[in-house]
């Protein structure tokens, strides 16, 4: 892959599933391992980019990747919106909702309550915020993990979120998506036919994503 265009570029990547706290010992989360985001960060850093990885998971990265550790979607939003970047890759699996309140102390079960109801509120859409406040020349890439209607759902996201690319990712099947080393994706871009990539390891997929976004410049 020709990644020479990355030299000196500021690349900002998010990775991992957010953790949304109920109380000091419990949270809501998802199966994202941070592997895809870490692969993008490492490929970009190896190609000479200035890389910041905002991550919920401790993942192995090259020494020249600046790591910012976060937990919740709100922390992730704050970190992503504060960092200047030429290319932003939102590979994190952001929780759609968080608990309305986080209890200060551990939530207790009681003898007389057989049900417990949790109130949730929508998280900010970070990709959408980044996509709609893009500077000229800046590229914003998102992921769409879907179990059904992959291409249709991902195309809607491409338009609604103002992204330059959505990496559509079949999840809920073996050998693709969350927490495995390989991935099978289709790249969607405005006014371009969908580009399905062969199943490959996440490092190779990361190279292809970055190479194609550089070509679109």
Nearest to 143 by CA among 176, 165, 123, 160: 165
Instruction: Of 42, 51, 36, 102, give the one whose Cα is nearest residue 72.
Output: 102
Residue 94 or 210: the one with the smaller Cβ distance to ligand C5P is: 94
Residue 64, Cβ neighbours under 10 Å: how many?
12
Is 161 annotated to bind ligand?
yes
Q: What's the CA angle centered on 151, arms 87 and 89, to 5 degrees?
A: 15
Shortest Cβ 184–ligand C5P spacing (Å): 17
Smallest separation (angstroms) from ligand C5P to the CB of 123: 4
The reply, when asked if residue 126 is annotated as ligand binding, is yes
Residue 152 Cβ vs ligand C5P, minimum distance, rounded to whole Å: 13
Q: Which residues pair with 14 in a beta bridge?
A: 54, 90
Alpha-carbon distances, residue 145 vs 90, 108, 167 (angstroms): 12, 34, 8
Give the number of C-alpha atoms closer than 13 A to the C-alpha of residue 134, restricted to the C-beta side. Answer: 18
Q: Which is nearer to ligand C5P, 48 or 67 (CB)?
A: 67
Give the H or E element holding residue 126: helix 126-132
Q: Does residue 22 have a known ligand-binding role?
A: no
**125 labelled as ligand-binding?**
yes
Active site residue 64: no
Kindly name the residue from 30, 42, 169, 183 that is annotated as catalytic: 30
At its nearest, how many Å lie between ligand C5P and the CB of residue 92? Answer: 5
When the beta carbons of 87 and 94 are compared against ligand C5P, the nearer one is 94
Residues that bind ligand C5P (CB under 6 A): 73, 90, 92, 94, 123-127, 142-144, 157
- Annotated binding-site residue numbers for CTP: 96, 106, 124-127, 143, 157, 161
State the catalytic residues. 30
């Amino acid at each position: 892959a020709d990644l020479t265009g990355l030299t000196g570029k500021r690349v900002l990547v998010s990775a991992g599933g957010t953790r949304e706290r109920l109380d000091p010992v419990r949270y809501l989360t998802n199966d994202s391992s941070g592997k895809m985001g870490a692969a993008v960060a490492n490929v970009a850093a190896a190609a000479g980019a200035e890389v910041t990885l905002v991550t919920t998971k401790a993942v192995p990265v090259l020494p020249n990747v600046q790591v910012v550790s976060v937990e919740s979607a709100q922390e992730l939003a704050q970190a992503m919106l504060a960092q200047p970047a030429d290319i932003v890759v939102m590979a994190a699996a952001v929780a759609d909702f968080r608990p309305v309140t986080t209890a200060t102390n551990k939530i207790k079960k009681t003898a007389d309550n057989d049900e417990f109801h949790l109130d949730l509120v929508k998280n900010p859409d970070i990709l959408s915020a980044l996509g709609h406040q893009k500077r000229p020349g800046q590229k914003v890439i998102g992921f769409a993990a879907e179990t059904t209607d992959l291409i249709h759902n991902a195309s809607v996201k491409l338009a609604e979120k103002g992204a330059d690319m959505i990496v559509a990712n079949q999840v809920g099947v073996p050998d693709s998506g969350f927490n495995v080393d390989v991935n099978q994706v289709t790249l969607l871009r405005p006014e371009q036919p969908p580009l399905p990539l062969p199943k490959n390891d996440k490092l190779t997929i990361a190279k292809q994503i970055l190479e194609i976004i550089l070509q679109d410049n």
